[in-house]
Copies of this chain bind each other. A is one copy, B any other.
Amino acid sequence: MAKAGVPCSWNMIAPKKRSSYAVASAGNPPSLGITNGKKVNGIHVRETPSPYTSNTIAGEMAIHCNVAEPHTYLLGRFVEDRLVYRQTFSIRSYEIGPDKTATMETLMNLLQETALNHVTSSGLAGNGFGATREMSLRKLIWVVTRIHVQVQRYSCWGDVVEIDTWVDATGKNGMRRDWIIRDYNTQEIITRATSTWVIMNRETRKLSKIPDEVKEELVPFYINRLSISAEHNDVEKIDRLNDETAGRIRSGLAPRWSDMDANQHVNNVKYIGWILESVPMHVLEHYNMTSMTLEYRRECRQSNLLESLTSSSEDPNSSSSNRKADMEYTHLLRMQADKAEIVRARTEWKSKLKHK
């Protein structure tokens, strides 16, 4: 029952040739012999000498604290026999929005950070953002094709959140990465997220199978667990908006130098800000985004001017009968010049009065 997989780059580049990847359904949990951190799921895992690694957990502090340095607590650690990676964050003053709570962009940034530290701490990291060694040797990178986030409650400045992340196989050549965000003090689950990743050759930009050597790296870390149950997930197709179907179009959006990431691409988290630019102001002010699904289609560089399209769904609960939103929007971010798609999105919103 051991499966393959671990990391993810936060590269957001749609493959030239697309496949569809079903979200893995919950199956039998792994029931393998897991030992002291050197064997996971019965397979030997190289211990990492990375500075990111901290096996210290709260309950062990009394044992370790003579040698622990404060900065080790800034990083994450493995829990549940190295199958789940956990990192704690304090929401900072500049991570909150006009309503004084963490923004969706902040949540996405923290999910990214936890995912990348998971890879680094696993000892598998190659030379790329989240690529494993065997991937780097083959010029392969992870690309995200879909991400879905559900927010039960947004945190405030100073709140401490605890993020768990783990990975599993999905389809033949995909990896699923899930996250759960808890309020550190109450342990209440306040956000759930799931994402689908495929492997691409960074030079040819073509999709690749997961090579056996990469599978061997990944297998020990897979865990069959869903952050969002199948019935609550958003797996529906997102319609492609156009000039006719979009109620609102905002043109002339220009990526800034400061929107670029370490791959010289527009960081995919930045797309959220542009998507919101075509959402009515009264919605931004009086509603909380409770669900967001992004379907990535194409990479974006700094020279591209963008357009943001938004359309209100006729039946707000059509695709989300389990989530009961007050309103639902479909979005498209596209190139202004040739109208090529970059990201499709669906968002759901609840009145701030009801969603606290």
Contacts and interface: CB of A to CB of B under 8 A. Distances in A.
A239 interface: no
A257 B275 CA distance: 10
A172 to B, nearest CB: 29
Provide the main secondary structure of the chain A interface: mixed
A96 interface: yes
Nearest to A105: B258
A89 B74 contact: yes
A75 B93 CA distance: 12
Contact of A100 (B90, B262, B284): B262
A284 B257 contact: yes
8 contacts: A51-B158, A58-B69, A71-B90, A71-B160, A74-B90, A98-B262, A103-B258, A256-B273
A262 B96 contact: yes
Interface string A96-118: 11111001010001001100100
Nearest to A281: B257
Give the bracket for the number of chain A residues in contact with chain B: 35 or more
- Copies of the chain in the assembly: 2
Q: Identify which of A62, A129, A257, A267 gathers the most chain B CB atoms within 10 Å of its CB.
A: A257
A290 interface: no
Contact of A66 (B61, B105, B281): B61
Interface of A: 10, 51-52, 58, 61-62, 65-66, 68-71, 73-75, 88-90, 92-94, 96-100, 103, 105, 109, 112-113, 116, 120, 129, 157-158, 160, 184, 252-254, 256-258, 260-262, 264, 267, 269, 272-274, 276-277, 281, 284
B74 A88 contact: yes
Contacts of A70: 58, 61, 73, 88
Contacts of A66: 61-62
Contacts of A252: 252, 254
A126 to B, nearest CB: 15
